[in-house]
Structures are given as C-alpha cells and as structure tokens.
Amino acid sequence: MPSVKQVQVTFDCAEPERLARFWCEVLGYVPPPPPEGFASWDALNDSLPPEERDASFACTDPTGVGPRLYFQRVPEGKVAKNRLHLDVRVGTGLVGEERLAVLEAECARLLPLGATRVRLLYDGTDSCIVMQDVEGNEFCLD
C-alpha cells in the first residue's frame, strides 16, 4: 500500500480569504502564487462567474514542511464545537511558568488579529490556551 505524501487541511467557512489571511498571520504561512495566466488572485477572481467569486482561498508553509490550508465557502454557519482542531505548538519543550509565559505572549499577539481567548487549561506543569479564530473555529495554543 502506498504511503501518504502530503496532507491538506480544509476549512469550511463564510469568508475564505479573510480566514486564510488570519491563519497566514498565525502560522507564518503565505498565499500561493496565482495560477499561470493570472497576474494576481484578484485577476483570477474577477474572471469567474459571480457565484464562484471569493469561494475559496489557500495558504502554504513557505518552508514546504507544514500542510497546505484550504478554505472553502459553504452556505451554512458553524453551529457546534469542532470535531478536529489545530494545536499551534509554541510552547514545545517548556513547562510550568516558562511555558505559560510563552503561551500568554502568543495569545496577546493573536488577539489583535481577531482571535478570541476561550480559556486557559493549566495544572501547574502543563498548559494550553483554548482560542477561536475569526470565524469561531476552536484551536489551542500548545
């Protein structure tokens, strides 16, 4: 059986480009270059029928290590907790107050981008901060 070579994470959302740009800022990702024959993503978007405009957007890890993130517009809104969420690993290898300080600093950076802090989970050694992105999708600072 062949092994999987790549994984893409897909988000259903209301505003694909807005959500993609949020995650670009969170992760240091970038939008991929526009398809051949288009000078920009706006030029591609303008060439589409009205019902297909602004329907999707993507971002990629510029190092090529992380998965591609794809954002697709769907008609329904989010109504329940995510069954899958991203852990943004900023405190790897740290414990206690040192870990908590790094997580709090990252939380403070993300709040002006539109993230929402939900709650801190801390047992004196291990910690994470549960947050939501600009469309209410849960993620953890870990």
> What does the pLDDT look like over 75-126, one tens digit per residue?
998 888 888 899 999 999 999 999 999 999 999 999 999 999 999 998 877 8
Task: List, in order, residues 6 or more apart from 111 with CB less than 8 Å away.
Answer: 117
Q: Pairing state of beta strands 68-73 and 8-13?
A: parallel
**pTM, entire model:** 0.90
Radius of gyration of the chain (CA): 17
pLDDT one-digit tens code per residue, 44-83:
989 999 889 899 999 999 999 999 999 999 999 888 888 8
The string of DSSP codes covering 14-27 is S-HHHHHHHHHHHH
